[in-house]
Amino acid sequence: MNREIYNSLGVSDAVITLGETVLQTLQDRFRLIDETAEYNQAKVLKAMQDNRVDASCLTGTNGYGHDDKGRDTLERVYADVFHTEAALVRPHLTCGTHALAVALSANLLPGDELLSPVGKPYDTLEEVIGIRESACSLKEYGVSYRQVDLLSDGSFDYAGIKQAINKKTKLVTIQRSKGYQMRPSFSVAQIGELIAFIKACKPGLTVMVDNCYGEFTEALEPSDVGADMLVGSLIKNPGGGLAPTGGYIAGTKKCIDRCHYRLSAPGVGQDVGASLSVLGSLYQGFFLSPQVVSGAVKGAVFAAKVYEKLGFHVLPKADESRHDIIQSIELGSPAAMEAFCLGIQAAAPVDSYVAPVPDPIPGYADPVIMAAGAFVQGSSIELSADGPVRPPYAVYFQGGLTWHHAKLGILMSVQKLLERGLITV
């Protein structure tokens, strides 16, 4: 029955058989993913119950947003789930990059230095920092930047980090996910070891973790191992596919108070910011997030195994531990990137007939190809794939609101590569 419906969607018997063969090897791995999802589901439920979420929390406010019970309760829920003192969760944070920019600019002053001990940050942060010139960058406001590249095996250069920390170093930013780089994503345990080392070198340093794509892939979060701030996007993992926009910053009260002032205005802070009509989606999406993330992780593992079997270099490998929802696949050519993304787009519920092509995108130095037929524009917890068109011509696959949709997307990507003569099955 499944074969027949897959055929009707354009997937050939040869590709279906490949998928079935791969899936037989992954059942034990999938059980472990389900165990993590079960734990995280209970964690979110307990936070909602402990904070007495009720029907009135699901309605919004307008105007200034004073006394917005639902907004304030949601922020306490996030703080409890991430085991932090406070949180800022707002639709006014337009994307992950915006949330990161708020967190950085709120907690860095002229003369301070920002350190990245994990090498180059995600492309869109380059202009925020001032690595690439931009108006209103941290560099323009007198904040300097230093980075320590990872070692050749992807591990931390502890000696280099110790040498880089100086009297000006104020804030350290750690990007959990690989971004557009073929390097490992970091486990919570690895991040905890790095944070402990950094704070031993200079007590009092603020450590921020870009948590995008990592939420709920493990039982612990970076805030459980010493991070002062976690930052993420609601149209990625924690929005569960239902959040229509927004971002979050969770951490110490001192850091989050400053973020509130930066987002609104000094002296005003957290007391303003109308939630309008989005609160129901933000609560329900957060509640569903552990299960949605588990489906995305299964899809990433499946993608790795399929493309390993086809002879491609993938990162991480199918049998390696997972610390985010992203699967990197080196395809080796722009043509293969286009075919892969065409398959992902063809599996979408929205805009399935669209053919993705590379194009310049604000914030990126290279043309980027993106496949994302999503209910929420740019939602990368939904089935999506993207990548800058530059060597080694890697695509970064993620998402799928359900495991079965992620599976179909990967089969469709294989089908398009097969149809264009780029692989044999």
- The pLDDT tens digits of the residues spanning 2-30 come to 899 999 999 999 999 999 999 999 999 99
Domain range spanning residue 86? 43-286
**Total Cβ atoms within 10 A of residue 323:** 23
Final residue in a domain of this structure, among 286, 305, 339: 286
Tell me what pLDDT residue 183 has: 86
- Tell me the helices (H) and strands (E) count for the chain, helix number first: 12, 12
Beta strand 247-251 pairing with 206-210: unpaired
52: number of Cβ within 10 Å: 9
Q: What is the widest separation between alpha-carbon atoms in the chain?
A: 66
Task: Please state, rounded to an integer, the average pLDDT across all residues of the chain.
Answer: 96
User: In this structure, is residue 424 part of a structural domain?
Assistant: no
In the DSSP assignment, the letter for residue 219 is S
Split into its structural domains, the chain has a count of 2
Instruction: Tokens for 150, please give them.
Output: 């990872």
**What is the domain-level CATH number for residue 409?**
3.90.1150.60
Q: Which residues of the chain have pLDDT under 50?
A: none
Q: Which of 286, 303, 329 is the endpoint of a domain? A: 286
Residue 255, domain member (yes or no): yes
